[in-house]
């Protein structure tokens, strides 16, 4: 409709004032809520053609559009803004369109669709997933679902950082003080157990540094000379040399972590089509770096370390291989990128990684381009803000992170407490209650995180997220359940809900609801273009907020006019389906009863 209005405005300016205008000069937008109308045309750019006031120009333009576009029934003018009003029939047609599509607003990929690979999660196997990982996983999964809904083929992928000095720190601490402890012997989840030894390493390291400082050396010297750190470096060297004992310990502890990760991913409802491991990709990256040395792209120093000099590109020098031959993250990412483009015919590669890694991906893109990969400069880093708590940032090595499993369990407890206080589940069985507690808790967590502009740093507050009022997941879930309750009552009363809108006159509240509902396809499209689940989340909230006002102001089941009653049931049913579809793009389930 916006395209039609824009074209007719261009035609009107030519007809009325004899001037050609570019379509970029024609601004058509949804009418603001405080004004009457459906679409608004900004008139100010045309005053230099009309040579009359904004109000007179809008009047002439409005009359032209009413005469030439059948669905426009009238207009009003607010200064230089022309607010167009659509016929009742247009909104009925829009609703019928929503009713007729099983997945309204969601496109399916065809055989010629472009392939998008989306990397998210990227955990280290020295610690469990935490709150920061939760935002990453939820964003990555939701962006994947939104891209699918925009007609793309999608491969969801994960790169597990399962090697490196940080992994060796956990291994060394376990070897020194673990006394053979296992997940089975301790009753602890494997990733939690390994994470405890990462923290333990930091404690042992700090004690050694403090002891060395008492001998008279500086703290910087002590940090470099600490025996446990040098042992960890040696363990990494042995790992890269395929030392059997080191590799066996590494395999055992990583297997504990993988089992723990899988449990957390299942709880969060996220998954992957392909998982890569740094231990498998870093050698490919190392070979690429050495090829770069041979071709004069990179420089090998006297100590055998390899560097890329990017100063002519406005960046700085970047190490790619250490003097002992061990690899860095950049080496691994080069190898992983090469393998992925061999494995899949990727059209677009999206990395979902926090904004502290912006520089890293600038360098990666440039290095791949220098190595001759034409797709190097096309890599897209979806940079998002960090998650903070009321008490500030988290630190893994100090053990101050908010563990993902503990957070979800705490959210379930909050959901239980709030539900019991409100008495919403009094007549449910314990099994039904537990299922809904879990659904509400995860809905609260996911929605609270995804409704925020991904670019922004956010403050996470569990209690605020689970409120049954306001812009929260539980509020939307409860509204969906309320709609399903009304529909069940209709079935029990023997009412057959029509499949098309009956010929009735819409009330203002009904047309307003349909206007919001009809914006769902555009919200999904815009969310895909901007890689922003927040656009879908806030669309669903606006729809739900308007429905609740409608539900409060009018009657549905007790409406005496049969045709109007059936229409309102059909409208409620369609809104319920759209809520469910919208929330599915966020990875959030909705309860049929609540």
CATH number at residue 304: 3.40.50.620
Residues forming a β-bridge with 39: 30, 84
Q: Is 381 inside a domain boundary? A: yes
The answer to whether residue 106 sits within a structural domain is no
Q: For the chain, give the longest Cα–Cα distance.
A: 92
* 473-492 vs 533-553: helix crossing angle, rounded to 10: 50
Say what the pLDDT of residue 402 is: 80
Q: How far apart are CA 43 and CA 49, in angstroms?
A: 11
Q: Round to whole Å and give the CA distance between 437 and 32.
A: 38
pLDDT number for residue 396: 43
Residue at 396 is within a domain: no
pLDDT at 391: 60
Same structural domain, 361 and 435: no
Cβ burial, residue 256 (10 Å; 0-12/13-18/19+): buried
Residue 352 backbone phi and psi in degrees, to 5: -95, 95
Phi, psi for residue 167 in degrees, rounded to 5: -70, -40
What is the predicted pLDDT for the residue at 419? 81
Beta-strand pair 39-42/28-30: antiparallel
- 467: Cβ contacts below 8 Å, ≥ 6 apart: 418, 474, 475
Q: Please count the residues of the chain.
A: 594
Decide which of 63, 86, 109 is a domain's last residue: 86
How far apart CA 510 and CA 546 sit, in angstroms, is 10
205 and 316 part of one domain? yes
My answer on whether 346 and 458 are in the same domain is no
Residues 509 and 361 in one domain: no
- Residue 400 pLDDT: 52
The verdict on residue 590 lying in a domain is: no
Q: Give the integer Cα–Cα distance in Å for 427 and 433.
A: 9
d(C-alpha 439, C-alpha 514), whole Å: 28
Q: Coil, helix or strand for 578? A: helix
255 shares its domain with 193: yes
Which of 60, 86, 112 is the last residue in one of the domains?
A: 86
Domain match, 185 and 293 both = yes
Phi/psi of residue 495, nearest 5 degrees: -85, 130
- Considering the domain architecture, whether residues 374 and 463 belong to the same structural domain is answered as no
Bridge partners, residue 321, by sequence: 306, 327
The residue to which tokens 């700085």 are assigned: 316
| Domain that includes residue 331, residue range | 120-388
Q: How far apart are CA 98 and CA 105, in angstroms?
A: 8
**73 is written with which tokens?**
């029934």
Please indicate, yes or no, whether residues 445 and 506 belong to a single structural domain of this protein: yes
Residue 105 lies in a domain: no
H/E element holding 62? Answer: helix 54-68
pLDDT in tens, the chain (594 residues): 889 999 999 999 999 999 999 988 999 998 988 899 999 999 999 999 999 999 999 999 999 999 999 999 999 999 899 999 999 889 999 999 999 888 899 999 999 999 999 999 999 999 999 988 999 999 999 999 999 999 999 999 999 999 999 999 999 999 999 999 999 999 999 999 999 999 999 999 999 999 999 999 999 999 999 999 999 999 999 998 999 999 999 999 999 999 999 999 999 999 999 999 999 999 999 999 999 999 999 999 999 999 999 999 999 999 999 998 888 889 999 999 999 999 999 999 999 999 999 999 999 999 999 999 999 999 999 999 988 776 644 444 444 568 899 889 988 998 888 888 877 777 788 888 899 999 999 999 999 999 999 999 988 877 778 777 889 999 999 999 999 999 999 999 999 999 998 888 888 899 889 999 999 999 999 999 999 999 999 999 999 999 999 999 999 999 999 999 999 999 999 999 999 999 999 999 999 988
pLDDT of residue 127: 92
In this structure, are 430 and 337 located in the same domain?
A: no
Residues 357 and 422 in one domain: no
Domain with residue 550: its CATH number is: 1.10.730.10
347 and 229 together in one domain = yes
What CATH number has the domain bearing residue 64?
3.30.1360.70
115 inside domain: no
Last residue of a domain, one of 42, 66, 86: 86
| 111, part of any domain | no
Statement to judge: residues 229 and 372 lie in one domain:
yes
Encoding tokens for residue 36?
A: 């009457």
CB 156 within 8 A of CB 140: yes
pTM for this model (two decimals): 0.90
Give pairs for 40-45: CB < 8 Å, separation 24+: 40/81, 40/82, 40/83, 40/84, 41/5, 41/9, 41/65, 41/81, 41/82, 41/84, 42/80, 42/81, 42/82, 43/80, 43/81, 43/82, 44/80, 45/21
- Cβ(166)–Cβ(198) under 8 Å? yes
- Number of domains the chain is built from: 3
Residue 399: per-residue pLDDT: 46
Question: Residue 137 and residue 139: Cα distance in Å, rounded?
Answer: 5
What angle is formed at CA 532 by the lines to CA 518 and CA 34, rounded to 5 degrees?
45
Q: Within 10 Å of residue 216's Cβ, how many Cβ atoms?
A: 8
């Amino acid at each position: 409709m916006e395209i039609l209005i824009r074209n007719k405005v261009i035609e009107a300016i030519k007809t009325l004032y004899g001037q050609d205008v570019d379509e970029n000069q024609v601004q058509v937008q949804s009418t603001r809520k405080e004004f009457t109308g459906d679409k608004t045309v900004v008139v100010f750019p045309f005053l230099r053609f009309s040579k009359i006031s904004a109000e007179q120009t809008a009047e002439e333009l409005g009359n032209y559009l009413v005469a030439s576009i059948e669905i426009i029934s009238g207009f009003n003018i607010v200064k230089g803004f022309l607010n167009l009003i659509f016929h009742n029939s247009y909104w009925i047609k829009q609703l019928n369109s929503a009713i007729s599509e099983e997945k309204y607003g969601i496109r399916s990929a065809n055989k010629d669709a472009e392939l998008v690979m989306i990397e998210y999660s990227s955990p280290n196997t020295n610690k469990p997933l935490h709150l920061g990982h939760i935002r990453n996983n939820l964003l990555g999964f939701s962006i994947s679902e939104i891209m699918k809904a925009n007609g793309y083929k999608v491969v969801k992928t994960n790169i597990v950082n399962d090697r490196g000095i940080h992994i060796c720190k956990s291994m060394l601490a376990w070897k020194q003080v673990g006394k053979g402890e296992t997940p089975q012997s301790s009753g602890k989840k494997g990733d939690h157990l390994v994470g405890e030894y990462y923290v333990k390493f930091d404690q042992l390291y700090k004690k050694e540094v403090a002891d060395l400082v008492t001998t008279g050396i500086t703290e910087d010297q002590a940090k470099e000379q600490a025996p446990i750190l040098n042992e960890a470096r040696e363990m990494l060297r042995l790992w890269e040399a395929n030392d059997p004992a080191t590799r066996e310990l590494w395999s055992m502890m990583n297997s504990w972590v993988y089992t723990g990760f899988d449990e957390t991913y299942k709880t969060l409802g996220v998954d992957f089509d392909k998982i890569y491991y740094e231990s498998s990709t870093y050698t490919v990256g190392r070979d690429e770096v050495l090829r770069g040395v041979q071709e004069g792209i990179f420089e090998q120093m006297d100590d055998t370390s390899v560097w890329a000099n990017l100063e002519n590109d406005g960046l700085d020098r970047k190490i790619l291989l250490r003097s002992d031959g061990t690899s860095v993250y950049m080496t691994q990412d080069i190898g992983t990128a090469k393998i992925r483009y061999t494995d899949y015919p990727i059209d677009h590669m999206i990395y979902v990684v926090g904004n502290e890694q912006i520089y890293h991906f600038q360098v990666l893109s440039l290095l791949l381009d220098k190595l001759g990969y034409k797709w190097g400069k096309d890599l897209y880093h979806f940079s998002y803000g960090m998650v903070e708590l009321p008490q500030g940032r988290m630190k893994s090595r100090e053990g101050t992170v908010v563990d993902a499993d503990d957070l979800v369990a705490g959210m379930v407890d909050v959901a239980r407490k709030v539900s019991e206080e409100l008495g919403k589940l009094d007549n449910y069985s314990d099994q039904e209650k537990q299922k809904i507690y879990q659904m509400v808790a995860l809905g609260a967590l996911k929605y609270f995180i995804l409704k925020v502009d991904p670019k922004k740093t956010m403050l996470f507050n569990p209690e605020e997220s689970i409120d049954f009022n306001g812009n929260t997941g539980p509020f939307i879930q409860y509204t969906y359940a309320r709609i399903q309750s009304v529909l069940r009552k209709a079935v029990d009363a023997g009412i057959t809900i029509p499949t098309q809108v009956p010929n009735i006159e819409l009330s203002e509240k009904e047309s307003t609801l349909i206007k919001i509902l009809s914006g769902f396809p555009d919200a999904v499209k815009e969310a895909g273009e901007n890689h922003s689940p927040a656009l879908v989340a806030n669309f669903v909230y606006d729809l739900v907020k308007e429905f609740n006002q409608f539900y409060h102001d009018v009657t549905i089941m007790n409406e005496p006019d049969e045709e109007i009653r059936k229409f309102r049931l059909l409208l409620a049913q369609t809104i319920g389906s759209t809520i469910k579809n919208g929330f599915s793009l966020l990875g959030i389930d909705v309860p049929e009863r609540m």
